[in-house]
Amino acid sequence: MKIDCLFIHPTTHLKKPPQPTGVDQLAYLVLPVGTTALANLLDKEGYGARIIHTGVEESYDRNFSIENLLKKYDPSVVGIDLHWYVHSYDVIRIAEIVKQSSNAFVVFGGFTASFFAEEILTRFDSVDAVIRGDAEIPLLELVKHRSKHNSSEGFEKIPNLMYRQGKALKQSRRRYIADESNLNQLNFSSFNLLENFDKYMQLSLSVELGQSNLNRLAYPCLGRGCSMNCVYCGGGQDAQQLLTGLETPIFLSKEKVIEQLVRFAEMKISSIYMGFDPDPEKRDYHKELFAMIRKEKIDLGCQFESWDISGKDFLKDFRRTFNPLYSSIIHSIQSGSEEIRNLNTGYSYSNEELFRWLSNAKEELIPVELAFASGLSGETEKHFDDTINMAKKIVEQYPMVLDMYCIPTSLEPCSPQFLNPQKYGLTLKFTEFLDYYDFFKRISEGSPPSSILGYETNLLSEPQILELSKRFYDALRRQLTGRSRYQGTPQTH
């Protein structure tokens, strides 16, 4: 069966203690929401497309191989998503196999690929092109072009495309930036083209190894962009402008979101992860959307990633809109120190405002999950004491806080601190794509990486940052037992 475009989603392999099955641990399994929309667009335009999730295939079929996949589909284009940097090694590994065993044209897309496009194309012959920024029209035109021609002639007409011509790298001058009307024409909720969709649904962001998954979680698309610039985030307003040209957030029409949710409910999906809250001033969008969900009587749980704290009305609306099973609000506080939080995040609130928000959530009986970080710009050990003290206070006073995490800040490509490390007091150890590639190659092989975080601050070394995160869990282990999903009662014989 010959198809026009085969989408291959990579999965990060971790060689930490071998699992009982003898298989590597697989991580970062979520498929970018845009992938299904891209495949559905090609399909609608009459081009054959399939999506393969390598993590799902590897989990359920020990004989799975990219080679066999290529034999089966004989695709003329292979699209590999490199949105998140955690897939930096696996995308290249897959691209190399594709090149060795087929004549397919290999194209990358996603934020990380967009940011490192030039370096990727320079270093890795296995990659033929990178779509920088929004991919819908560029990919459609690329597939159309490849169905008629076997050369790069005419690629300059394909927007957002960086490609190799002979030994030279070329960048198309045409630009495509998706607007709201473009987004509204896409289909984000049909998964017919994703192989083993049922099995993909059994995997979930919420579930760790050794847990049983009760839920079926899906990720609706609500829009693109952000209005804030958190210094650690590679998807903030300035980053989006640099990567895609998008200046301010765009929202899908609420009717289109409702269409997605109705479809999800039909597919027996129990809850949705809403990870798009780009502008606290535009929460009316969510309020109106919630009202429509209630009006349509769509029964779903919701894990809502609240990028800023919210008012009581919003919490009330959340509570009366979503099923109490599989619903929670997730918020990243980052630091217990107001000074450090305000220095690092695009949103701003006092500790008093935060505790008022938590009290409102408690009163409204809304479960909350909270995240902190170590290694923030300007943070000292003393600032981190404020984080631990705040976390202790929260765990004592707010029983509806389901879990708290403290993860060392990661170095996201294109984040303000990546682009301007001096300004934020950082010394970078990862400065190019190859550093990310090397890191994930090493952890997939089980060899020690040269750096874990890829940076240190002028106030804290890398081991100190890692130690702070450990200190957080040591300080809170007892209080979190029985709540946290990561700590259970002894259950062995």
Partner 1 sequence: MTYKADTRLPLEVLEKSPFVYTGPNLGSFLIGAIQGAINHHGRLLPRVYPLTVSEVTSNNKIIDKIFSLCFFYVNDKDELVLFLTHPCWLNRSDSAPLINFLLTKADELAQYGGCKFIEMEFHEVASYVAFPTSLTHFSYDLRKISVEKNDLSLLQSHGFQEESKIHCYEQSVNEIEKRAQEEYKTSSPFQIKSLTPSEFNMLNAKTENYPAKAYTLSHRDPYLTFFNPLSKDIVSAAYKRTRWFRKGELVGYFRWTPNLFEPSQAYNLPVPLLFKYVFENYSFTHGKIIDWGLSGDDTNLYKSLLLHASHSMKERGLKMLQIGNVTDSQSRMKAFLMQYDFRKVHTIKLLQKRVN
- Report the interface residues with partner 1, using CB under 8 A: 20, 198, 202, 204, 206-208, 210-217, 266-268, 270-271, 299-301, 303, 323-328, 362, 365, 367, 369, 399-400, 402-403, 482-485, 487-493
Dihedral of alpha carbons 289, 293, 294, 300, sign: negative
Minimum distance from residue 216 beta carbon to partner 1 (Å)? 5
Minimum distance from residue 300 beta carbon to partner 1 (Å)? 7
- Give the integer Cα–Cα distance in Å for 366 and 273: 15
Pairing outcome for strands 250-251 and 271-274: unpaired
CA-nearest of 32, 5, 447 to 224 is: 32
Whose Cβ is closer to partner 1: residue 169's or residue 207's?
207
Question: Residue length, the chain?
Answer: 493
| 322 SS3 class | coil
Whose Cβ is closer to partner 1: residue 365's or residue 407's?
365
Supply angle C-alpha 29, 34, 39, rounded to 5. 100
| 178 SS3 class | coil
- Quick count: other Cβ atoms within 10 Å of Cβ 238? 16
CA-nearest of 101, 116, 131 to 35 is: 131
**Do residues 211 and 484 make contact, with C-beta atoms less than 8 angstroms apart?**
no
Minimum distance from residue 217 beta carbon to partner 1 (Å)? 7
Whose Cβ is closer to partner 1: residue 53's or residue 441's?
53
**Do residues 203 and 56 make contact, with C-beta atoms less than 8 angstroms apart?**
yes
Whose Cβ is closer to partner 1: residue 180's or residue 198's?
198
Residue 304's DSSP bridge partners are: 274, 329
Minimum distance from residue 231 beta carbon to partner 1 (Å)? 29
Minimum distance from residue 400 beta carbon to partner 1 (Å)? 6
Minimum distance from residue 492 beta carbon to partner 1 (Å)? 4
Minimum distance from residue 398 beta carbon to partner 1 (Å)? 9
The position carrying tokens 């301007």 is 420
Minimum distance from residue 394 beta carbon to partner 1 (Å)? 13
Torsion of CA 233, 238, 241, 243, to 10 degrees: -40
CA-nearest of 270, 330, 322, 272 to 293 is: 322
Whose Cβ is closer to partner 1: residue 123's or residue 483's?
483
Whose Cβ is closer to partner 1: residue 169's or residue 402's?
402
Minimum distance from residue 215 beta carbon to partner 1 (Å)? 3
Minimum distance from residue 266 beta carbon to partner 1 (Å)? 7
Alpha carbons within 13 angstroms on the beta-carbon side of residue 95 total 25
Whose Cβ is closer to partner 1: residue 216's or residue 429's?
216
- Quick count: other Cβ atoms within 10 Å of Cβ 270? 18
**Do residues 13 and 90 make contact, with C-beta atoms less than 8 angstroms apart?**
yes
Minimum distance from residue 69 beta carbon to partner 1 (Å)? 25
Give me 315's structure tokens.
């919490």
Whose Cβ is closer to partner 1: residue 164's or residue 263's?
263
- Give the integer Cα–Cα distance in Å for 434 and 438: 6
Minimum distance from residue 486 beta carbon to partner 1 (Å)? 8
Minimum distance from residue 479 beta carbon to partner 1 (Å)? 12
- Give the integer Cα–Cα distance in Å for 375 and 468: 8
Give me 361's structure tokens.
């959530």
Whose Cβ is closer to partner 1: residue 288's or residue 396's?
396
133-156 burial string, b = 16+ CB within 10 Å, else e? bbbbbbbbbbbbbbeeeeebeebe
Whose Cβ is closer to partner 1: residue 448's or residue 490's?
490
Torsion of CA 14, 85, 274, 376, to 10 degrees: 100
Whose Cβ is closer to partner 1: residue 122's or residue 211's?
211
Whose Cβ is closer to partner 1: residue 154's or residue 399's?
399
Whose Cβ is closer to partner 1: residue 208's or residue 281's?
208
Q: Phi and psi at residue 182, in whole multiples of 5°? A: -65, -45
User: 490 vs 17, 23, 267, 493, CA distance in Å?
Assistant: 20, 25, 36, 9
